[in-house]
Amino acid sequence: MGRAGMKPGETLVSGYEVIEHLHQSNHYDVYEAWSEERACRCIAKVLRQDEVGDRTSRRTLIREGRLLENLTHPHIARAYEVIENPKTALILETLTGETLSYLIDESYRRLSVKNIAFLGLHLCSAIHYLHRQDILHMDLKPTNIVSERGLAKVLDLSVARASGKCHAGVGTHNYMSPEQARGGVLGPAADVWGIGAVLFEATTGEVPFDGEDEDHYEQLERLIEPIREYRRTPAAFANLIESCLEPEPERRPTVDRLAGELTPFSQ
C-alpha cells in the first residue's frame, strides 16, 4: 500500500475538509469529508498520494464519476460532483450503514433466507437499471454493497462498461464470471453471475471460489459447491442461486426472471 492518507482537518480539495480516512485501495484513498457548500458529510474518493501522476487511474476515476452523475436509482450510491483540477476527486453521498461483507463476517447469526431474497431483489433492481443504460457493473461483491436502513446500495462502478468485448480478468478474481476470467464478449449474464456470487456468500458465509492464486481461476475448472452442503435452505432457493452461477451464460436466468423467482422468498 501507499503512504498514509491525509489527516482530519486537512483540506482534501477546495471546499472539502477531511473528517476521517476510511480506506485505501491499489490506486485510491477514500475519505469521509465535510462539504462546505452542502454543510454535510460526504464521501470523497481521490488518487492515492503516490498515484497522483498515474494518468490511467485519474481517467478511470473521472470516468466513474461522470457515469455516476448520470445515474439516479435508490439502490446505487449517488455522485454529487466530479472535481478534475487541481486535484481529482469523486464526491459521493455518505452511506451510514455497513457493507454486506461486514454483516456476513461479523453477525452472530446468518442472514435469513427472507433477508437474502430481499437483498437479491435490490441488486436485481439496480442491475436492471444499469442494463437499461447499457452498463455492466462487472464487480458485484459484498464489499461493494452497503446496507442502509433496509436498503441495499451498490457502490464502485470503476470497471463498469458497455456490453461487448472485454479483456480477460476485469473485475475481482474470485467473484468474476468465467467469461470475465477468460475475456471475450460480455453481456448481462456476467452481472447475473455477480448477483449469484453475492447471494451465495450471503447464504453460506463462504466466498464462491478461491482467489488466492492470481493466475488461477477456479470458476473455469469446477462448478459451484451446492449451497445445501453448507446450510439447510429451501431447495428451490438454493437451486435459484446456483443457476446464476452456471458456467455457460445462456443457462443463467435473466435479471428480471431472477427477481420474479426471488420474490416469493422475500415475503
How far apart CA 218 and CA 206 sit, in angstroms, is 14
Paired strand residues for 177: none
Residue 178: count other Cβ atoms within 10 Å of its Cβ: 19
Q: What share of the chain in percent tops pLDDT 90? A: 80
Q: What is the mean pLDDT of residues 154-158?
A: 93
The full set of domain ranges for the chain reads 11-92, 98-266
Place 196 in a pLDDT band, splitting at 50, 70 and 90: very high
Question: Is residue 206 very low, low, confident or very high in pLDDT (cuts 50, 70, 90)?
Answer: very high
DSSP codes, 179-222 = HHHH-EEE-THHHHHHHHHHHHHHHHSS-SS--S-TT--GGGT-
> Looking at the predicted structure, is the pLDDT value of residue 2 above 70?
no
Query: Is the model's pLDDT at 146 over the cut of 90?
Result: yes
User: Which whole number is the average pLDDT over 237-242?
Assistant: 98
Average pLDDT, integer, range 106-123: 94
Q: Which CATH number fits domain 11-92: 3.30.70.20, 3.30.479.30, 3.30.499.10, 3.30.200.20?
A: 3.30.200.20
Do 11-92 and 98-266 fold alike per CATH?
no
Of the chain, the end-to-end C-alpha distance in Å amounts to: 44
Summarize pLDDT for 103-114 with one digit per residue, the tens: 999 888 899 999
Note the pLDDT tens digit of each residue in 27-46: 899 999 999 999 999 999 99
| Average pLDDT of the residues in 110-121 | 96
What pLDDT is stored for residue 126 in this prediction?
A: 98
Contacts of 54 (CB under 8 A, 6+ apart): 27, 47
Q: What is the mean pLDDT of residues 157-164?
A: 93
pLDDT recorded at residue 5: 75
pLDDT per position as a tens digit, 43-75: 999 998 887 788 999 999 999 999 999 999 999
98, HSE (Cβ side, Cα atoms, 13 Å): 8
pLDDT at 1: 44
pLDDT at 243 over 90: yes
CA–CA distance from 28 to each of 16, 48, 61, 174 (Å)? 17, 5, 9, 21
% of residues, the chain, pLDDT over 70: 97
H-type helices in the chain, by residue range? 55-69, 100-106, 113-132, 178-182, 189-204, 235-244, 255-262
pLDDT of residue 184: 87
Give the chain's mean pLDDT: 93
Residue 180 and residue 186 in contact, taking contact as beta carbons nearer than 8 Å? yes
User: Mean pLDDT over residues 206-219, rounded?
Assistant: 83
Task: Give pLDDT, residue 3.
Answer: 56
pLDDT of 24 > 90? The answer is no
> Sign of torsion, CA 40 44 49 55?
negative
- The dotted CATH code for 98-266 is 1.10.510.10
For the entire predicted model, the pTM comes to 0.92
Residue 33, strand partner residues: 18, 42
Q: 19-33 burial, b if ≥16 CB within 10 A, otherwise e? A: bebeebeebbbbbeb
pLDDT above 80: residue 125:
yes
Is residue 100 scored above 90 in pLDDT? yes
**Amino acid (one-letter) located at 5:** G
**What pLDDT score was predicted for residue 214?**
72
